[in-house]
Amino acid sequence: MKRILLISVLLVIALSISFGQIAYKKGDQVGSFMVGLGSLVYVSGATGSVPPLTVAYDMGYNENISFGGMLSYTASKWDDNSYGFGATYKWSYIIIAARGAYHYDLLHNSNIDTYGGLMLGYDIASSSTELTGNWPYGYSTPSAASSGGLLFGGFVGARYYFNPNLAVQAELGFGLALLNIGVAYKL
């Protein structure tokens, strides 16, 4: 995790060459797709896992503030076949949230948009179990479960624009992963 964070920081610093454009301004509409690293919902030994995936949309309200939304998803499956019988466990997690960010020119580079913000949303978690093999007579069959709740969190991030519309992006903070990396596109 420390190595990934160090590489991300070094990448942002190495790419800090200005092309004379403004990375963030009022009215910008930015869509992004990110993959999470350092998942908070990782299941040890899981197979068939979907890494944390996030899509987000931000719209520039004024010169420093943007509002938008995000949707995150991850899933895992774990097969336990001990003693000639077993079970398949499945988990999935979804976050739907509104978010707002304050954009600040921290690195004084017109290609880099640095920001921090807050999100408010809803978390949906579900699980199911399927028995496999020859279970002893009278063993109760597991059932599925789901849960959800209100969530609140913060994040910090940066986007490096290769051209006026396309950027690489990294966000650190609350969600299904500690670090999300991906691409952003100004619509």
119 Cβ contact list (under 8 Å, min separation 6): 70, 97, 98, 99, 100, 151, 152, 153, 154, 155, 174, 175
Q: How confident is the model at residue 18 (pLDDT cuts 50, 70, 90)?
A: very low
CATH number of the domain bearing residue 142: 2.40.160.20
Compute the distance between CA of residue 173 and CA of residue 180 in angstroms, rounded to an integer. Answer: 9
Span 153-168, pLDDT tens digits: 999 999 999 898 999 9
The rounded mean pLDDT for the chain is: 82
Mean pLDDT on 51-78 = 93
Structure tokens at 88: 């398949």
Span 109-145, pLDDT tens digits: 889 999 999 999 999 999 888 877 666 666 666 667 7
Compute the distance between CA of residue 175 and CA of residue 164 in angstroms, rounded to an integer. Answer: 28
Residue-level pLDDT at 177 = 85
**Residue 61 exposed, middle or buried by CB count within 10 Å (0-12, 13-18, 19+):** middle
Q: How confident is the model at residue 178 (pLDDT cuts 50, 70, 90)?
A: confident
Q: Could you tell me the pTM of the whole model?
A: 0.79
Quote the domain boundaries for residue 42. Answer: 2-186
Pairing of strands 29-39, 65-80: unpaired
The values of phi and psi at residue 26, to 5°, are -55, 135
Q: Count up the domains in the chain and report the number.
A: 1
